[in-house]
Homo-oligomer: A and B are copies of this chain.
Amino acid sequence: MQSFRPNPLAPDSLSRALDQFSFHIRHFALYRSIPPHQDKTTVGVQFKLVFLVCGRVDFEAGSRRFVMNPGDALVIPPFIRYTARCTTDEETEYGYAYFDLADSAMEEEFTSLLDCALPALYRGVLAEAELGTICRMVHGLSPEEPGAHREAHILLDWMVLQLARSLLHSSQAAHTAANDAGAQLVRQCIGHLRRVPPREFSVAELCEFAHVTQSYLYKCFQREMNCSPQKFLTLYRLKLAERELCDSSATIQELAEQFGYTSAGAFSQAFKQHFSVSPAAWRQGQRDRTHREPD
């Protein structure tokens, strides 16, 4: 009769912390740039995880600047306007995932665990052999393949685990974001917005909460997020509205009211300006996608 070897892998603190999070992945893909490279400046309303496969990339967002080498990964939180430059003459390839936390109330804990309330670089988290395997897996992710959705989540879970581990192992020196007053102010404001109904979002409200002047708030947002507080609030409100649009059956009119727009038309216009499609078309697109299944 076999005698048992007990499980040596009891849940540790890090595992338990990570077990709390589950993700909504929007997009998971590889991107290849062939010289001459073009700079890319963009801003997202989701978290973005990027891992570099080959080449070298200069990343710049507000006061943060990183040089990414193969095996490095980067997490960019929502609403950060950043510029990425491929700086070698070789082909550059990177993988990226856009994702939200399934439970948005967990965002603060997530950014705190990964130290990524502002863009964070994790050096050398992916060894060469792992990079190859991951590239093949990401490359193979196709909506037609049964289980692709689960595979994407497994991949993201694994990468997030590697990032969290690298933080524990590193001296944290590379993660300098957290400590200056401006960055802290911005993070506090984002935390505050999670507790305020979207229709009440205003720059004045943020100033009152943080006990700072509008011009200081402006300076801090501009430096850390590369956009004004007003612009940030617009994006943040739209992000929440977009999520509600997909998850609830509220009418456009109801959503407009809920998110503080003067009319359904004003909401539609703002949405369209940002997402390039109307709220109704976006909702329909998401539903079609959910129903159109590979098997």
Contacts and interface: CB of A to CB of B under 8 A. Distances in A.
B19 A150 contact: yes
A259 B148 CA distance: 42
Interface stretch (A86-94, A198-206, A285-293): A285-293
A143 B8 contact: yes
Interface stretch (A114-122, A214-222, A268-276): A268-276
B6 A148 contact: no
Interface in A251-287: 273-276, 285-286
Could you say how many copies of this chain the assembly holds? Answer: 2
Contacts of A274: 1
B14 A27 contact: no
Interface string A1-43: 1111111111111110011000011111000000000000011
Contact of A42 (B2, B130, B153, B165): B2
A1 B42 CA distance: 7
A15 to B, nearest CB: 4
A143 B158 CA distance: 17
Interface residues of A, number: 61
A43 to B, nearest CB: 6
Nearest to A151: B161
A10 B43 contact: no
A136 B128 CA distance: 12
17 contacts: A1-B273, A2-B44, A3-B275, A6-B26, A7-B289, A9-B25, A9-B141, A9-B143, A10-B149, A10-B290, A12-B293, A12-B294, A15-B147, A129-B133, A146-B165, A146-B168, A147-B161
